Structure 1
Amino acid sequence: IVSEGLAALAFTGVEVNLVLFLKLVLRHSNAQAANTFATWMGTLNICTLLGAFLSDSYLGRFQTCVLFQTVLVLGLVLLSLTAQVFMLKPGGCGRTGRVCDEPSRLRAGSFYLSIYLLALGSGAVEPALASLGSDQSETEDEKTAFFSYYYVALNLGSMVAETVLVYVEGSGRWVLAFWISTGCAVSALVFLLGGVSKYRRIEPSGNPVSRFCQVFVACVRKRNLEAPSSGAELHESDPDGRQQRLPHTHDFKRLDRAAMMTPSEKTMLSLKGQTPSPWHLCTVTQVEEVKCVLRLIPIWLCIIVASVAFAQVLSLFVEQGTTMNTKIRSFEIPPASMIIFDIITISTFIICYKKILSRKRQIESPSELQRIGVGMAVSILAMIVAGLVERNRLKHADRGEETSSLSIFWQVPQYVLVGISEALINVAQWEFFTSQISDGLKSLGLGLSMSSTALGSYLCSIIVSLVMKVSSRNGKAGWIPPNLNEGHLDRFFFLSGALIACDLVLFVACAKRFKCIQVLKKDNTEK
């Protein structure tokens, strides 16, 4: 738990102001900075798939945590050295109003290498570290308590970074902030290694993706066979029920061929006592595992589109904030620190939501899909509010300048709404993707839920590029120009809201058609 809190502090210290660093130090435009950030965040979240795969298949959870926390440290060390030695030239640059000299390609390449090492280390360690912690729990109550404390630690670490380190970076002391993040990452690794002799370790269970591929290969090999009329004709092993089994279902019937037994395979099983290769004959449970994943894909695709709103919090929201009035008397508020309202909202909403449900147990709690749908509706509202705030900001824009007299606290509602949306969608999809898939593919379910945010970031980057390409024709400034006072960021927010609204309609249609997973108990009854 302590290791996660420190690692979150280290990572967030770089993440929260990366857009400003790109603009002030690497001299990126608003659109370039937003695209670079979205791509980087997408890579970060895709790396969670790599971490989940390696921890469950080959390395084990502890070794995966040590490996990628070391990568995290190396990335931060390289970033700190690159910023200190090469990038912050001339001295005192890197703050609002004092842009640095444009770095050479070699120096910029060193910077990009460092932040992508950071993305690899931070992204890949997340599923492994959470799983390692839950492995130490013996009861369901202990696991629930662990994940609660784990989430609190993550948010506390992020909150410290988004208040203390954001202020340090906002004053132009980037090198100091990066070295503080590096120290926290080293401390996180030390705390992790401190319990090496006490951890309960679970051995890797093998490659879950190979079982997925075996079904398709076996199905293709038997493509000329006639589909079976009932599940009783299909192959299943483990009759004693020592392992989790899934009953046969009637959708995706073509895949059932993978579990059909040819005469030669029947002979091998009944007379010779041999088991055919899984690349030729699969079990019903294997086939049903694939069906479970295929049923999840439409829901997963809808969540990817909804995640476009989350990708804007640390990019376009921050860029919008930099053009607003950030002063309270003599104190200047770093625009990136406004995300603290997002974090506080997420934590407060989840705690209050759980307490309300625990007090009113007679009320049936909303299902995971219902919570995801409500979260999408809230994200639409967040985009509309962000667009209205931007229109109001433009009315107060200073002529000939890049700033506006409108207070940055007008952004609070959009951060709060995005926080509620994140709490509803992310927590619900975690529960949904792990509950609607078999035990043998839990890591794949976890990877799918985490990768939705990643692909949402990539989608946001693509949308920004397309919007700028279309809106900047005929010499126009475009919707997201370097000077936002000359653009129409409000239209982009409204476009995002409209896109998520269309996505919500598709999501409701998919949710109504979704069939929940069934599991065979030891007495062969379904649950």
Structure 2
Amino acid sequence: MEESTVADASTTKDLENGEDLEKESFITKDGTVDWKNNPADRRTTGGWKACPYILGNECCERLAYYGMSINLVVFLTDKLHQHNATASTNVTNWSGTCDITPLIGAFLADAYLGRYWTIAAFSSVYFVGMVLLTLSASVPSLKPPSCVGDVCPGASPGQIGSFYLALYLVALGTGGIKPCVSTFGADQFDDEDPSEKKYMTVFFNWFYFSINVGAMIASTFLVYIQQSVNWAWGFGIPAAAMGIAIVSFFIGSKQYRHQKPGGSPLTRIAQVIVAAIRNWRLRLPADETMLYEVDGKASAIEGSRKIQHTAEYSFLDKAAIEDKSRPTTKWNLCTVTQVEEVKILLRIVPIWASVIVFSTVYAQMSTLFVVQGLKMDYILGTFKVPSASLSMFDPLSVLILVPIYDRLLVPFVRKYTGHPQGFTQLQRMGIGLVISTISMVVAAVLEIQRLRVAREKGLVDADDKNFPKLLNAQLSIFWQIPQYFIIGASEVFTFIGQLEFFYEQSPDAMRSLGSALSLATVALGNYLSSLLVTIVTKITRRDGKPGWIADNLNHGHIDYFFWLLVALSVVNFLFYLPFAYRFKYKATK
């Protein structure tokens, strides 16, 4: 009887051990946890089962954002009765704020809140802002009276205050969403598991696809509602879309995987720099294993795996040398992983800088491309095609090319390169840089042709309103479609490749910050575009000349400006190549 009992107990123990081993084999290897803070089980969390909620959230949020921002300058001039210059400045300031606040949201996500709670909290702020914005467009007491003839009453301080409160709540809200949603979506795939990691690139493709679905709906349907129906519906629909985005996000809560916040990344960076300076007299050991690192598999940084030592930027390694003459503190001694975090950021910087010129080219869609279109034949029968509406061919290009890239190009290229994603991240970004250069060549050639037609038909000094009619369909605005479409193609390579690159190569505990930095290239690209326009205008308008970017484009040469961007893009690509070629991808232990 005793032998039977012992045998049964032994069998039970073996079964329990077998179950534990089986369960452990399904635990993610990248340190993610589930909603109960237990190690994430890939059978019940993450993967494609979690992604529809995240992609739905992104699509609706971008629809909300573009739905209220794409036509914002019109609302400021038509409904708040601001002057064109004032309205343009206010929109630019607000857009700049939207590009800065992601640094705040990313810091909070990486340091303290985690990506899930950052998205949840900032989405709520975003939604409140959208509701207030809708009220400002629909409640009579929150907007100035309509114009009577040429007399347009100005908005009261209270009306202005309530509107800008709503607007900047949206700016704050988007700051917590933009840097976190893409990284949170990528967190759903274990990059230590080859079977899951191969889908990460696919996720980024469809994430960017979702962005452009929202942008496409906003630039067509919502613009029509705002201009042809009323602004209450024009802002109300985006507010409702934001509500749907929040609901979509929360529905998937139990299926998400979470990376734990690792504490302030800025503090860790400062500690490495201070420790390296304090230890500058110490000699580096010949054996890298003598550098300080905590024992065990886990690193000293919460939510981060250990990173293998690299030989680059060896002066920073002195932060990981123990000096027994001083008390051991985090400001005197750092782990190898902490030092490698800083090295990774230094390696990323040149790649990051290379995308700024790309963003400058991208910025032309909302500036010089629009101006160029106004000097072409935009009359289609009795319908006048808005020059800015041609920008819809950019998201349309993305919507067409992302499935082609994902389903056709990647499998084809994979046969020759052997790489799971067809191209490496840096190869993909580089191809996009080349394609964006081609878009400027196409725009320049079109402008040369436009100027030639204007001269041949004697329309150089024609009135702006009559100019399109006088062209007599000889130079249709639809000839601009290729340059918009090509820029969309470059986004499929560079912008999506950049999203993936910054996610994978950023330190585990700095991934939101890496995403925020990648988003900052768009803002810097806009600033660089403005700076170039200012410099070119000042130089080329000397001695009474009209300049390249003249008030009457027929007297100017924006083709020269496009060629300047071609030259800058070529120089930028040549700058990018050696850094991309020598770049050492992050390796974890």
Range into which the TM-score falls when normalised by the shorter chain: 0.7 to 0.9
Aligned to 1:153: 210
Aligned to 1:327: 379
Counterpart residue identity of residue 295, structure 1: R
What is the CA-CA distance between 1:83 and the residue it aligns to?
5.6
Q: How high is the sequence identity, in percent, across the aligned residues? A: 38
Indicate if the aligned counterparts of 1:51 and 1:127 stay in contact, CA closer than 8 A: yes
Aligned-pair RMSD on alpha carbons?
A: 3.5
Match of 2:316 among 232, 241, 255: 255
Aligned to 1:467: 536
Which piece of structure 1 moves more, 430-439 or 216-225? 430-439
Name the count of aligned residue pairs: 503
Q: State whether structure 2 residue 568 is matched by structure 1 residue 516.
A: no
What is the CA-CA distance between 1:175 and the residue it aligns to?
5.1
Which piece of structure 1 moves more, 103-112 or 256-265? 103-112
Indicate if the aligned counterparts of 2:206 and 2:402 stay in contact, CA closer than 8 A: no
Match of 2:513 among 439, 444, 453: 444
Cα deviations across residues 454-483 of structure 1 (Å, max 9, x unaligned)? 221222222233333434455555544555
Cα deviations across residues 316-354 of structure 1 (Å, max 9, x unaligned)? 323433444333223333333322211121232222122
Counterpart residue identity of residue 51, structure 1: G
Aligned to 2:147: 90
What is the CA-CA distance between 1:376 and the residue it aligns to?
1.4
Cα deviations across residues 34-53 of structure 1 (Å, max 9, x unaligned)? 87766654442333332222
Structure 1 pair 90–226 and aligned structure 2 pair: CA distance change class (3 A) = same
What is the CA-CA distance between 1:185 and the residue it aligns to?
2.4
Match of 1:507 among 576, 579, 584: 576
How is 1:149-298 mapped onto 2 (pairs within 5 angstroms)? 149-169=206-226, 171=228, 173-174=230-231, 176-194=233-251, 202-240=259-297, 244-264=305-325, 276-298=328-350
Cα deviations across residues 388-437 of structure 1 (Å, max 9, x unaligned)? 33344444457022553442211101101111111111111222223333
What is the CA-CA distance between 1:79 and the residue it aligns to?
4.4
Structure with higher Rg: it is 2
- Measured in 2, the distance between the counterparts of 1:156 and 1:381 equals 25
Aligned to 1:71: 125
Segments of 5+ residues of structure 1 without an aligned counterpart are: 94-99, 269-275, 521-527
What is the CA-CA distance between 1:262 and the residue it aligns to?
0.9
Counterpart residue identity of residue 11, structure 1: Y
- Measured in 1, the distance between the counterparts of 2:440 and 2:539 equals 21
Match of 1:130 among 155, 179, 182: 182
Q: Secondary structure at the match of 1:224?
A: coil
Structure 1 pair 298–136 and aligned structure 2 pair: CA distance change class (3 A) = closer
- Measured in 2, the distance between the counterparts of 1:105 and 1:191 equals 38
Match of 1:455 among 502, 520, 524: 524
Counterpart residue identity of residue 399, structure 1: A
Structure 1 pair 150–417 and aligned structure 2 pair: CA distance change class (3 A) = closer
TM-score (norm 2): 0.75
Aligned to 2:359: 307
Counterpart residue identity of residue 217, structure 1: V
Aligned to 1:356: 409
Aligned to 1:273: none
Aligned to 1:525: none
- Measured in 2, the distance between the counterparts of 1:180 and 1:159 equals 15
- Measured in 1, the distance between the counterparts of 2:229 and 2:370 equals 16
Cα deviations across residues 60-93 of structure 1 (Å, max 9, x unaligned)? 3333223322333344345455566547852799
Aligned to 1:433: 502
- Measured in 2, the distance between the counterparts of 1:424 and 1:187 equals 30
What is the CA-CA distance between 1:216 and the residue it aligns to?
0.5
- Measured in 1, the distance between the counterparts of 2:548 and 2:232 equals 33
How is 1:42-81 mapped onto 2 (pairs within 5 angstroms)? 42-80=96-134
Aligned to 1:401: 464
What is the CA-CA distance between 1:143 and the residue it aligns to?
5.7
Aligned to 2:432: 375
Indicate if the aligned counterparts of 1:27 and 1:102 stay in contact, CA closer than 8 A: no
Which piece of structure 1 moves more, 432-441 or 186-195? 186-195
Counterpart residue identity of residue 69, structure 2: E
Indicate if the aligned counterparts of 2:425 and 2:501 stay in contact, CA closer than 8 A: yes
Q: Which has the higher contact order (CA 8 A, sep 6+)?
A: 1
Indicate if the aligned counterparts of 1:80 and 1:175 stay in contact, CA closer than 8 A: yes
- Measured in 2, the distance between the counterparts of 1:519 and 1:205 equals 16
Aligned to 2:28: none
Which piece of structure 1 moves more, 110-119 or 42-51? 110-119
Segments of 5+ residues of structure 2 without an aligned counterpart are: 1-54, 191-195
Structure 1 pair 466–39 and aligned structure 2 pair: CA distance change class (3 A) = farther
What is the CA-CA distance between 1:23 and the residue it aligns to?
7.5
Q: Secondary structure at the match of 1:245?
A: coil
Which piece of structure 1 moves more, 19-28 or 461-470? 19-28
- Measured in 2, the distance between the counterparts of 1:23 and 1:393 equals 31
Q: Secondary structure at the match of 1:167?
A: helix
- Measured in 1, the distance between the counterparts of 2:358 and 2:296 equals 43
Counterpart residue identity of residue 400, structure 1: D
Structure 1 pair 342–488 and aligned structure 2 pair: CA distance change class (3 A) = same
Q: State whether structure 2 residue 68 is matched by structure 1 residue 10.
A: no
Indicate if the aligned counterparts of 2:376 and 2:476 stay in contact, CA closer than 8 A: yes
What is the CA-CA distance between 1:160 and the residue it aligns to?
1.0
Structure 1 pair 296–320 and aligned structure 2 pair: CA distance change class (3 A) = same
